[in-house]
Amino acid sequence: MSALPSFTSATPDDLASARAARSQLKSPHKGQQTKQAIVDAALGLATQIGLEGLSIGAVAELMQMSKSGVFSHFGSREELQMSVVREYFRRFEEEIFLPALAQPRGLPRLRALFEHWMKRVSVELQSGCIFISGAVEFDDRPGPVRDALVSSVQTWLGAFHRAIVQARDEGHLLPQADEKQVAFEIHALILGLHYEARFLQASGALERAVLAFEGIVQRHSPAPVKPPQKTSAF
Amino acid sequence: MSALPSFTSATPDDLASARAARSQLKSPHKGQQTKQAIVDAALGLATQIGLEGLSIGAVAELMQMSKSGVFSHFGSREELQMSVVREYFRRFEEEIFLPALAQPRGLPRLRALFEHWMKRVSVELQSGCIFISGAVEFDDRPGPVRDALVSSVQTWLGAFHRAIVQARDEGHLLPQADEKQVAFEIHALILGLHYEARFLQASGALERAVLAFEGIVQRHSPAPVKPPQKTSAF
């Protein structure tokens, strides 16, 4: 999807420049500011009631705006939902991928990705993750919102795959370590953590996810790996 | 929850007797038959639209009955939803736990549990799993339906824990293998499989789940384990 940021091929320098440029933008058009405020409010609502439940009316009420006022910025409920998916993806990128780029290529960066991802899941225990709830809501509903969700997930899974390939290239993982396999196993841990901690409210889920991650790394590594004494994200 | 079957402490003989008794019941009261038919239809509907979307009205329409006719069997929408959770749990037990009891205690039974579970997920790629969709729908909605879901999941997780303890007692897993850790890792794989195969429609997810399962078993085993040539469930 062309509307999604293509951070996955950007270098750290590209990303730093883009962020600086964004923050230097002064007085963006008021319409853009309003639109962004609506998207922020809609995203907050979507994490509570689900993306599917999002309507122009509910967001208008939240923003104390008229329905036609909200409608004029998006043109359809689907476009509002897709804007929320894009904003969620942007935050996901900013909180998980950008900080990981500060770590050296290979296992340190892969570990940072996992740690920031877990950190985000922990924050989302109170609000929910639309990549998880959206998957359930839209798994059997073809259309542009489902496509936007799948495309976002595929994009960050692709970036995750590349981080694994780099770890293999650096010799931190075995030459035969398959990036789709390793990414599947790590993604599964995140889903397990979200399920146990948010739905079952089980204690110790975070520690279990960390232990399991080390097990996955160990299994795909050429030599015993000593886990870091303290993770950087907690 | 007392309303849930307590298969987890039953022996294979107990279960065989119970099943035989159930199948020998002739002409159950018509009201019970009707109630069961409504629950079956409601479960089918819930796997499509979600447990949350289930209403007396929608089920009445599906059954070509009056709303008051459906209502008289359940008394409330919540009781209808809880009946669906109980029925889903009963089928889960019947398809996953009962066949696994035919396998020897320890790793063979644990492996059978995983295989039957994966088999069920594969079937549910078309319809969805209410333990997964229900977790998203009810994670922040306290009440009896959430309690019934959590209780069902806790019950089968407990049975899964016992199968892991048995595998440890049989010497198939390391003495220090923690049942909550092993169950968390295996459950995560099921969630990952469901996500990749149902939402992302990714190919190879089943094979990745099988490989990851063998990795988990290996890591918690005292000696190299040779995976079976052919799984029993596929």
* Structure confidence by residue, pLDDT tens digits, A110-135: 999 999 999 988 888 778 888 999 99
Please determine, for residue B82, whether its predicted confidence score (pLDDT) is greater than 90: yes
Flag whether the ipTM exceeds 0.95. no
pLDDT of residue B105: 96
Please determine, for residue B233, whether its predicted confidence score (pLDDT) is greater than 60: no
Name the least confident of A143-147, A180-184, B55-59, B124-128: B124-128
- Chain B residues touching A191 at Cβ < 8 A: 188, 191-192, 195
Question: Is residue A119 within 8 Å of residue A233, measured between CB atoms?
Answer: yes
C-alpha to C-alpha distance for B219 and A189, rounded to whole angstroms: 16
Residue B24 gets which letter from DSSP? H
Between positions 6 and 25 of A, the ones with CB within 8 A of B are: none
Question: Is residue A192 within 8 Å of residue A177, measured between CB atoms?
Answer: no
The confidence band for B19, taking pLDDT boundaries of 50, 70 and 90, is low
Q: Report chain B's terminal Cα–Cα distance, integer Å.
A: 33
**CATH number of the A85-219 domain:** 1.10.357.10
Q: Check B199 against A48: CB less than 8 A apart.
A: no
From the list B48, B199, B211, the residue facing A181 with the nearest CB is: B211
Helix or strand holding residue B183 (H, E): helix B179-194
Q: Is A200 part of the contact surface with chain B (CB cutoff 8 Å)?
A: yes
Nearest chain B residue to A133, by CA: B136
pLDDT of residue A41: 96
Q: What would the mean pLDDT of B165-170 be, rounded to a whole number?
A: 97
Between positions 36 and 65 of A, the ones with CB within 8 A of B are: 48, 50
Three-state SS at A6: coil
Question: Is residue A179 within 8 Å of residue A110, measured between CB atoms?
Answer: no
Class of domain B82-219 (CATH, top level)? mainly alpha
Whether this model's pTM surpasses 0.90:
no
pLDDT of residue A230: 57
Nearest chain A residue to B48, by CA: A140
C-alpha to C-alpha distance for B55 and A77, rounded to whole angstroms: 25
pLDDT digits (tens, 9 = 90+) for B187-196: 999 999 999 9
pLDDT of residue B29: 82
C-alpha to C-alpha distance for B48 and B124, rounded to whole angstroms: 10
| Best to test chain B binding among A137, A173, A196, A221 (most B CBs inside 10 Å) | A196
pLDDT of residue A54: 93
Listed residue (A177, A189, A179, A133) closest to B189, CA to CA: A189
